[in-house]
Structure 1
Amino acid sequence: MKAKQYVPPWKQPYIIAVAGSSGSGKTSVAQLIIKQLNVPWTVLLSMDNFYKTLTPEESAAAHRNEHDFDTPTAYDTDDLVKCLRDIKAGHRVNIPTYSFVEHARTDKTVSIYGANIVILEGIYVLYDHPGLLDLIDMKIFVDTDLDTCLARRLTRDMLHRGREMSGIINQWRKTVKPNFERYVRPTMANADVLIPRGRDNVVAIDMVAQHITKILTDKSERHLADLCSLIDDDELAAEEATWNKQIHELKQSPQLIGIHTILCSDDTKRADFVFYFDRIATLLVENALQHSKFENINVETPTGNTFEGVRRLGIDNTCAVAIIRAGECFDRSVKRTIPSVRMGKLLIQSDISTGEPKLHHLNLPSRISEPDAFVLLCDAQLSSGAAAIMATTVLVDHGVKEENIVFVCYLASKRGLQRYLNAYPNVHTVVGKILDGSHGRFIDTKYYGT
């Protein structure tokens, strides 16, 4: 089966550039926009983190306030463009950090993944560097009086960067102000929006936030439409015959149906529910491990005989990722079945206003991207399939091979399963019970009692 293209909402994030003089209030404007938008996974990225590494001579000059940090060549803009391209593609990106006290990049990096909005601020974010402007969706220039900018720069550099007032003023006169007039002010012509007075212009900031909100709403509607397009009614009936290859339902014996009955009954007490869910979760995990790799091995029995058996490969690199919170109901069974397992978590929730599923939290195990990693993706119920599709996309984005993923689920709707299979035809799914329709989510509520 050929996979249908699915583009998660964190691919092609909306990138906003905020430019202006040093001290113009770029960061404050960006923070006010973020506050008004109130969108999860909004990233504020400073171009200052992309200052080039200084030579020993340049570093000594910087500590004397004699190095020119305000020319376009002071930045590694090629590296910035590469990072923005990777962010646009939905990849995990490690952003460098810069110390203004030491005038050097630090050993630490900041990891960005799953951003819905990226706000890039810096004096040269609207500079006509090859490839830069093409990656930016909205270009803003903050136009603030230069005397105000100097006053703000004095306060910032003296309080937070350990500079002397005389050095700050000398640097302003020699490099900051002349370079602004020569290089930065002309980039105002590249802006889509001009915000005079910076953070004090609440009307302009509010209009920008409203415009961005409208764009994000349209994007959410397109994403939901893309999810729905992964399956139609005719296709559902036609392709159920392919399920035996990738979708594996537990054999519905009378004993198993009895457990289903207990778990689906509203009268079942929590202690009984937890006991029987753990039983069936263990069965599901055991069946999921059937899709890992094995090798033949002979062992000697206690009586001296030879037993021809098998050994599972990749035991030391088995991971389990739970989709919070229903997927966490599998945690106990996973740990009992695979004591050496490394655990991870994903939180995907639907936006209240749009209904669009969004990635809110991500904590993946170490070594999950290694070629031999075998990953169990766990969720108690599959309804529309949106959360499972997004979670699997996260794993693939982090280097996990499709064929090394097994999705483990207790209850699943036929529609959700087919939608998931259309998006990821190489992923095995192990399910306890396939339902004709959706019964609503209740497993985690019954399991945790809340």
Structure 2
Amino acid sequence: MPTSQDHVNGLQNGYSEMKQLVLLEQTDQVKELHTILRDKNTDHSEFLFTADRLMRLVIEEGLNRLPYTKCTVTTPTGCNYEGIKFARGNCGVSVCRSGEAMEGPLRQCCRSIRISKVLIGDDQQMLYARLMPDISRRRVLLLYPILSTGSTVIKAASILLENSVEEENIFLVSVFSTPQSIAQIHSQFPNITIITSEITCDIPFYFTTKYFGTD
């Protein structure tokens, strides 16, 4: 008899074909990181180290979706190397407070990237927003680690669109996502790209509090 996890696995396989959804390859390394983060015996130091590793993997996958330009550099041996560099105009927007956990890993991947912030209340009303004046011309990595219902992200995305950010320029970077949250977000914003490490009904809701040591 199929289990709920079988159902989720089927959804993962189906979602892997969607252009606007990027699921990390479920390698043994990723599975081990998920295991450590779910183990009740994992102490705070190990949890922090593991969470940062996993968030960097998700962020790196998000960066793979951003445009680049070709360039030529000269190596220390005097040879020319035909390479690439990211196109200008990328930024991060963290949805406080949980999204702030992803700011450090993002800066570890993109040292000079600028990061804005939005704060959404429990009633899904905007309490605070600090966005760059030119954000309408940027591609946005929207940082929010746990997608449970998708309602907070929908509000954050609405704020970005109200500030003239193009929907296709929003890349939602998450760690754990439910099938329902993905469906809800894409029902309203089908052109937003969602990047996540796992699609699961077993969301570790304690992720942020344990990360910040407030559990």
**Does the CA-based 8 Å contact 2:98-2:208 persist in structure 1?**
yes
Q: Secondary structure at the match of 1:323?
A: strand
Name the amino acid aligned to 2:91.
C
What is the deviation of 1:241? 5.1
Cα distance in structure 1, aligned partners of 2:147 and 2:161: 19
- Show structure 1 runs of 4+ deviating over 6 A: none
Q: Are the aligned partners of 1:383 and 1:438 in contact in 2 as well (CA < 8 Å)?
A: no
CA distance in 1, matches of 2:203, 2:167: 28
* Cα distance in 2 between the residues matched to 1:241 and 1:262: 25
Residue identity in the other structure for 2:134: R
Amino acid at match of 2:102: F
Aligned partners of 2:167, 2:184: CA distance in 1, in Å? 16
Closer/same/farther in 2, CA of residues 311 and 388 from structure 1, 3 Å limit:
same
What pairs up with 1:284-433 in 2 under 5 angstroms? 284-314=58-88, 317-351=89-123, 357-369=124-136, 371=137, 373-433=138-198
- State the Cα RMSD in Å: 2.0
Residues 431-450 of structure 1: pairs in structure 2 closer than 5 A: 431-435=196-200, 437-439=201-203, 441-450=205-214
| Counterpart residue type for residue 411 of structure 1 | F
User: 1:242 and 1:277 mapped to 2: Cα distance?
Assistant: 23
Comparing both chains, which one has the higher relative contact order based on Cα–Cα distances under 8 Å and sequence gaps of 6 or more?
A: 2
What TM-score, normalized to structure 1? 0.43
Aligned residues: 204
Q: Give 1:350 deviation, angstroms.
A: 2.0
Once the two structures are superposed, what CA deviation does each residue of 1:378-421 show, in whole Å capped at 9, x if it has no partner? 01100111111111111011011111111000000011111111
| Bigger Rg, structure 1 or 2 | 1
What are the equivalent positions in structure 2 for 1:34-183 lying under 5 Å apart? none
Task: Report the Cα distance in structure 1 between the residues aligned to 2:56 and 2:16, rounded to whole angstroms.
Answer: 26
Identity of aligned residues (%): 30
Structure 2 length as normaliser, TM-score? Answer: 0.88
Q: Which structure 1 segments of 5+ residues have no match?
A: 1-236, 352-356
- What's 2:7 paired with? none
Contact 1:293-1:312 within 8 A present in 2 as well = yes
Instruction: Give structure 2 stretches of 5+ with no counterpart.
Output: 1-10
Contact 2:72-2:83 at 8 Å conserved across structures = yes
For residue 8 of structure 2, what is the aligned residue in structure 1? none
Determine if contact 2:119/2:126 at 8 Å carries over to the other structure. Answer: yes
- Give the 3-state SS of the residue equivalent to 1:268 in structure 2: coil
